[in-house]
Structures are given as C-alpha cells and as structure tokens.
C-alpha cells in the first residue's frame, strides 16, 4: 500500500483530482494534529513518546547512546493580546557564531540543573541530561507553530520547575543584544527555546513500511534504525511495488504530485492520505466507480 504524508489540509489546494479522492474515498477517524505524530504512526519503539531528541542527536553526532536527550530548538515567538504565538522554530538561519553567542548565557542556567546545552547544529540544539532524567512530554514544534505556545507548556504542578526554566531562558534570549542586530537586518530574533522530544535512544525501531521517500531528518533516522530503505522525494517511482511512505509534508506544492499519485494508485490499488492537520483518507482505485458521489 502507498501511504502519503501531506501538509495541513488547508495548504493542499482544491484541484479536481484531490476533490475526487476526498469525495469518493473513505474518511477515517482523525489522528493527532501534527507531522511528527503522523510520521510516528508508521514506526514502533519500546515505549513512551517519540524520543526525537536522542534520535536526531544520534543522526548528527552518533553519541546519544545511554543518556537522556531533549531537543531545545531556537524559536521566534510573537506576543499578542491572548498569549505568545510561535512563528518559527529551528528555521532561523543561525550561523555557528550566532548560535554560540546566544547559547553562552544559557549554559549556566541549564548547568545549574545538571543539564548540558549542546549545539548539535546552529539550528538544532539539545539538552544532554542524565540517564534517569524524566523531562515532561512537550509537544513537537509542528503542533505548536502558529498557535499560542503557552497552552502547550506542561501544566502539571510537578513540572513547575520546567515552566520556570522555560521562562528564564526566554528572558535571557529576549535581552540578548544579537536579537537587536538581527531585527536591524530584517531577520527574526531568537527569543525562545522550544523543548520537545525527550527520552533515551530506543534499543530498536520497527516499521511496517519497506521504503520511505522524505527530506526530513527525523524521518530518515527512524527509517535507518528500522532498516527501511530511504530515498529522496524526487526519486519516488509510482510503479514500484511494496509498502511505501511518501513524505510530501514539507512540499511547497503538493498538488504537483497528484498525477504521480493517481498513477501509483493504479499500481497499489489503495493509498492512505494523512494530513498534518489530522484528517485521514483511504482512497482505493475501485472508488473511481463511485460516480454517484458527484465532484463539482
């Protein structure tokens, strides 16, 4: 079967071919909102939430084994009348020098709690924590983007120290002189670290798919650890057999792939469409005969 990960439903356009699939296909129960949740549904690991921090660190540096890791991605948050809206995360085009400058005042803050702030790449940071650390389950940034991030912070009283840590990091970043320089250059400031994906490197990862076409770093490391073949999106072959996951979530124009998917549907006989906004559809080649479901 062919499985397709797509952007939010509202970003996929409404051309006739997509409308045909949606009208004649079978609507499935909605899934959890967010790309990471849709991706994770195709993989299995021993327990808990997806340990994206350890997986991404291992992919970049190969040293994540044993301890607990938490993503600490540089982000831009815009305060508004009702809260604070996350507008960018991990995509702020930081140079290595800028990243180091921003991290310098943060290291003592995290160090006092026994955490080491690691700049895995200029745009992907991690907290390196002891093996027995148990960070709360923060939402992945793809769930938070465009929304009020305050509603995604852990609310349990036992995690009050994490909310305090989050707020103190925000204050230090807000005061950093580099952000004034970035604003003057027309760049977004870095005024937040979004923490997410905590956990240890899983001892195993399994999947029911045989091949994945993706540009996403987390998808690639999951596939590699599950021994699933990995290829670029542009190398997708609609005539290839097997259980395939095609990741179009990051595509600027997913509708450009509709003709290829229509061709692939003839080969696979069925495909799952999983939108990052949670909607899910099962489309079968035989559904083309549901002509009583009119397409406008």
**pTM: predicted TM-score of the whole model, two decimal places:** 0.91
Domain check: are 167 and 125 in the same one? yes
Cβ atoms 19, 287 nearer than 8 A: no
In a domain, 95, yes or no: yes
Q: Choose one of 200, 218, 244: the last residue of a domain.
A: 200
From residue 175, give the alpha-carbon distance in Å to each of 59, 89, 115: 33, 19, 22
Kindly tell me if the per-residue pLDDT of 296 is higher than 80.
no
In a domain, 225, yes or no: yes
137's tokens = 């389950």
pLDDT band at 286 (very low <50, low <70, confident <90, very high): confident
pLDDT in tens, 196-207: 999 999 999 999
pLDDT band at 178 (very low <50, low <70, confident <90, very high): very high
In a domain, 296, yes or no: no
User: Residue with structure tokens 């995604």?
Assistant: 152
DSSP strands (E only) in 54-148: 68-79, 84-89, 116-121, 124-129
Distance CA 174, CA 30 (A): 38
Rounded to an integer, the average pLDDT of 80-89 is 90
pLDDT-wise least confident of 1-5, 164-168, 256-260: 256-260
In a domain, 114, yes or no: yes
Domain that residue 72 falls in: 52-200
Q: Choose one of 149, 180, 200: the last residue of a domain.
A: 200
Instruction: Compute the Cα dihedral for 197, 73, 36, 204 and give only its sign.
Output: negative
Distance CA 40, CA 59 (A): 17
Mean pLDDT, all residues of the chain: 92
pLDDT score, position 157: 84
Which of 99, 97, 42, 11 lies closest to 216, judged by CA? 42
Domain check: are 29 and 155 in the same one? no
pLDDT score, position 13: 66
Q: Choose one of 200, 217, 251: the last residue of a domain.
A: 200
The three-state secondary structure class of 217 is helix
* Residue 11, φ and ψ in degrees, nearest 5: -95, 5
Alpha carbons within 13 angstroms on the beta-carbon side of residue 278 total 6
Domain check: are 79 and 170 in the same one? yes
Domain check: are 255 and 275 in the same one? yes
In a domain, 229, yes or no: yes
100's tokens = 């180091």
pLDDT score, position 125: 98
């Amino acid at each position: 079967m062919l499985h397709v990960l797509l952007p939010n439903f509202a970003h996929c356009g409404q051309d006739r071919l997509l409308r045909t699939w949606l009208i004649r296909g079978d609507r499935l129960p909605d899934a959890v909102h967010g790309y990471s949740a849709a991706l994770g549904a195709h993989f299995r690991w021993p327990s808990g939430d997806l340990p994206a921090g350890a997986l991404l660190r291992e992919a970049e540096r190969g040293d994540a084994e044993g301890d607990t890791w938490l993503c600490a991605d540089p982000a831009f948050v815009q305060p508004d009348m009702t809260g604070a809206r996350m507008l960018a995360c991990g995509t702020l085009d930081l140079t290595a020098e800028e990243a180091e400058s921003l991290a310098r005042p943060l290291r003592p803050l995290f160090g006092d709690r026994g955490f080491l702030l690691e700049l895995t790449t200029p745009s992907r940071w991690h907290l390196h924590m002891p093996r027995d650390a148990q960070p709360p389950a923060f939402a992945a940034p793809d769930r938070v983007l465009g929304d009020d991030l305050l509603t995604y912070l852990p609310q349990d009283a036992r995690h009050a120290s994490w909310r305090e840590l989050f707020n103190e990091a925000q204050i230090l970043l807000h005061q950093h002189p580099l952000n004034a320089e970035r604003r003057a250059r027309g760049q977004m400031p870095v005024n937040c670290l979004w923490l997410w994906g905590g956990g240890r490197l899983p001892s195993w990862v399994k999947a029911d798919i045989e091949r994945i076409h993706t540009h996403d770093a987390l998808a690639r490391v999951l596939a590699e650890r599950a021994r699933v073949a990995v290829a670029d999106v542009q190398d997708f072959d609609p005539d290839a057999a097997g259980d395939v996951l095609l990741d179009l979530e990051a595509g600027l124009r997913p509708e450009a792939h509709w003709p290829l998917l229509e061709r692939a549907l003839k080969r696979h006989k069925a495909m799952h469409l999983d939108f990052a906004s949670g909607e899910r559809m099962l489309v079968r080649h035989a559904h083309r005969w549901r002509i009583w479901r009119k397409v406008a």
